[in-house]
Homo-oligomer: A and B are copies of this chain.
Amino acid sequence: MPYNVRQLASLLALEFRGDGRRAITKVSGWGEADAGSLVFIDGDAARGSFPAGLEPACVLAPPSFADAAAAPFAGGVALILSPNPKLDFAKAALLLHPRPTGGGGRHPTALVAPDAVLGERVELGPYVVVEEGARIGDGTILSARVTVGRGCAIGEDCILHPGVTLYPGAVLGARVVLHAGAVVGADGFGYVPDGGRRWKFPQVGGVVLGDDVEVGANTTIDRGSLGTTRIGEGAKIDNLVQIAHNVEIGRHVVIAAQTGVSGSTVIEDCAVIGGQVGFGDHARVEGGVVIGSKAGVLPGKVVRAGEVYWGVPVRPLREYKRLNALFGRLPGMKAELASLKAELAELKEKLLP
């Protein structure tokens, strides 16, 4: 949805410089910008120079650009001044490229159980399957070949991309986004050994994703075995992540790609988890903790708030970095040890009869 510079600045509650009537049609990176683009400068880029010949419609820039910076741009490019250009760029992007919402179209191949309840403007792509008793909120979009199992409940304005599977009984809040191939509510992985063989532990619990959760492509979130797997409001989960049965992910938690969280582990609000991290079962990560990529958290471990962690098993980052540096100096330590030993032997030979 296009805006002119004046309108966009006003919607962002920011000041602008230059021609307020210039039309902005999209956000762009510097490399792809054209005459309809909004681009942004963050702190670092601001120190560099601008690509020759670039003339975007408008630049979101720090206030320090108010006087001096218009000069480098040809043709009178406009500026919108922001104390946090990247954040306002993200907000502007949502205005220029609004999140799609359902228009009520139902592809004739979409199969909906007679007793499923669909809200207004729900949009169903081709080969969608909605099973018995499912409820889908207003404006939600189910893309091609999404499967919604028996008794699922989906909130308003969700977007389920192609090939998503919700097992029976999964519950999604409002504005949830599930990327292609994500699977929500599969059986947890639990077996009880019995001599040589194994009995499946019941996997009959639930799975609930809060409002504004986003889940990446081919990520898997299992249902509870007994009880419920919960993903808190606003949590963002990347591609190919594994969330096991009975895990609780807090609000606004961020989890990067290929991380795995074992059964019954709790990650509290606002924690930030890198990629390829592994969590043993029944661990607890306190709120706001940051854990670096590839780290490992032992089963039952409590990871205390107020630190950044790294390593397998996790240690506070500063400690881990120091240990890792010393690891690299092991050859030196070994040599020093050998030389001390020789020196001592020599001394003893000289001094002892």
A residues with CB within 8 A of B: 26-29, 31-32, 86-87, 89-91, 93-94, 97, 109, 111, 125-127, 129, 143-145, 147, 161-163, 165, 167, 177, 179-181, 183, 186-187, 189, 191-192, 194, 196-202, 204-205, 214, 216-218, 220, 222, 224-227, 234, 236, 238-240, 242, 244, 252, 254, 256-258, 260, 262, 270, 275-276, 278, 280, 293-294, 296, 312-313, 315, 322-324, 326-331, 333-334, 336-337, 340-341, 343-344, 347-348, 350-352
Write out the residue numbers on chain B whose beta carbons fall within 8 Å of the beta carbon of A324. Answer: 313
In the complex with contacts A254-B191, A327-B327, A202-B90 CB distance below 8 A: yes
Contacts of A244 in B (CB 8 A): 257
Q: A126-B129, A226-B28, A294-B278 are in contact. Are A189 and B257 (CB under 8 A)?
A: yes
CA distance A129 to B348 in the complex (A): 84
Task: List 6 A-B residue pairs with CB atoms under 8 Å apart, sorted by A's residue number.
Answer: A86-B201, A93-B201, A97-B202, A129-B162, A186-B239, A240-B240
Point out the residues of chain B lying under 8 angstroms from A89, CB to CB.
Answer: 192, 201-202
Is A275's CB under 8 angstroms from B262's CB? yes
With A192-B90, A239-B189, A328-B315 already in contact, the answer to whether A234 and B197 are too (CB < 8 A) is yes
Give complex CA distance A226, B38 in Å: 11
Within the complex, which residue of B199, B239, B312, B352 is in contact with A87, where a contact is CB–CB below 8 Å? B199
Which of B97, B125, B191 lies in contact with A204, CB distance below 8 A? B97
List B contacts of A238 (CB < 8 A): 189, 242
A90 to B276 CA separation, bound complex (whole angstroms): 32
**Which residues in B have their C-beta under 8 angstroms from that of A161?**
165, 167, 186
Assuming A199-B90, A328-B315, A348-B347, is B183 touching A180 (CB within 8 A)?
yes
Within the complex, the shortest CB–CB distance from A80 to chain B, in Å, comes to: 16
B144 lies within 8 A of A147 (CB): yes
Assuming the contacts A86-B192, A226-B28, asked whether A183 and B217 have C-beta atoms less than 8 A apart, the reply is: yes
A87 to chain B, nearest CB (A): 5
> What residues of chain B lie closer than 8 Å to A236, measured between beta carbons?
189, 191, 198
Which residues does chain B contribute within 8 Å of A144, judged by CB atoms? 129, 147
Residue A276 contacts which of B97, B200, B204, B260 (CB distance < 8 angstroms)? B260
Q: CB distance B278 to A276 under 8 Å? A: yes
Interchain CB contact (< 8 A) of A337 among B218, B234, B333: B333
Determine the distance from Cα of A331 to Cα of B333 in the docked complex, in whole angstroms: 11
Contact A32 B191 (CB under 8 A): no
CB contacts (< 8 Å) of A87 on chain B: these are 192, 194, 199
Partner of A331, one of B183, B199, B326: B326
Q: Which residues of B contact A225 (CB under 8 A)?
A: 29
Contacts A278-B294, A326-B330 known; list 12 others, CB within 8 Å: A27-B204, A29-B205, A29-B224, A93-B201, A165-B217, A181-B218, A186-B239, A196-B270, A276-B278, A276-B296, A315-B328, A323-B328
